[in-house]
Structure 1
C-alpha cells in the first residue's frame, strides 16, 4: 500500500508541475484566448508581468518538474528540488501580493499552488526518511 501511495503522489506531482508548464506555454503562445475566462485584474497582471517575475516563474516550473521527475525516479534529490520549487513559489507569491497587485488579481487562492507544492515536498521528505528514495 505504501508504494501505491508513493506512485500516486509521484504521478500527481508530475501532473501538477506538467500542467503548470502547459499553462505557461499557453499563456505565452496565445494569451488572449487562453486567459479569456480569467478576471480582468488577473489578465492584466499576467500580461504586464515584469521580466524578472517571468524568469522566476519559469525557474519555479522547471525546478518543480525536475523535482517531480526525481521523485518518480525515486532519487533523494527530489526532496531538495521540491523544497526549492516551494521556496520559489513563496518568493513569487510574496512578489505578486506586494508588488504586482496579486490580492486583487487572484486573492488568497494564489497561495494554493504553494500549498500543493509544499505538500509534495513534505511527502518527499517523508519518503526519504522511510528509505523510499535512493
Structure 2
C-alpha cells in the first residue's frame, strides 16, 4: 500500500506552470495546423512555405510533443505516476521535431541564430519536468 504525502506549494506552482507552458505549445500547434492569420503574421513567405512543406512525420512529432506534454503536465497536477511516461513520450516527440528542424531543413539558415534559444528552452523544460515528476514520485506525492 502506497502512502501519499501532501505536496508542498512548490509542487502545485510548478505543475500549474507546466500545464500552462504545454498548453501554449498546443495552441502553437493548432495555430500552425490551421494556418491562422495570427500565425501567418509571425512569419515571412519563405518561412511559411517551409512550414507548409513539412513532412507529415515532422508535424506528427510536433503534435506528439505538445499534446503529450500537456497531458503529462495534467497528470502531474493530478498526482499520477504515469505522468513521467507521458512526459518521456513528449520528449521523444521534441527530439524528432528538433532533428528535423536542425539537421534536415537547417532552420538556423532560415530563422537565424535566434532559432536556437527556444528549442534549448523547450528541451530544458521537458527534461526538468521529467526529473521533477520522478522527484515528486520519490517524495510520495504521486500515486
Normalized against structure 1, the TM-score is what? 0.86
Number of paired residues?
A: 133
**Higher gyration radius (CA):** 2
In the alignment, does 2:39 pair up with 1:34?
A: yes
**In the alignment, is the contact (CA less than 8 A) between 1:45 and 1:102 conserved in 2?**
no
Other-structure match for 1:53: 58
Structure 1: gaps (5+ residues)? none
Cα distance between partner residues in 1 of 2:98 and 2:80: 28
Measured at CA, do residues 128 and 39 of structure 1 come closer, stay the same or move farther in structure 2, by a change above 3 Å? farther
Scaled by the length of structure 2, the TM-score of the pair is 0.82
Q: Secondary structure, in 3 states, of the residue corresponding to 1:37? A: coil
CA deviation vs aligned residue, 1:73-118 (integer Å, no higher than 9, x gap):
1000111111221122122112211102222244322222111111
Aligned to 1:113: 122
Q: What are structure 2's unaligned runs of at least 5 residues?
A: 1-6
Distance 1:26 1:90 in 2: 21
Is 2:101 the partner of 1:96?
A: yes
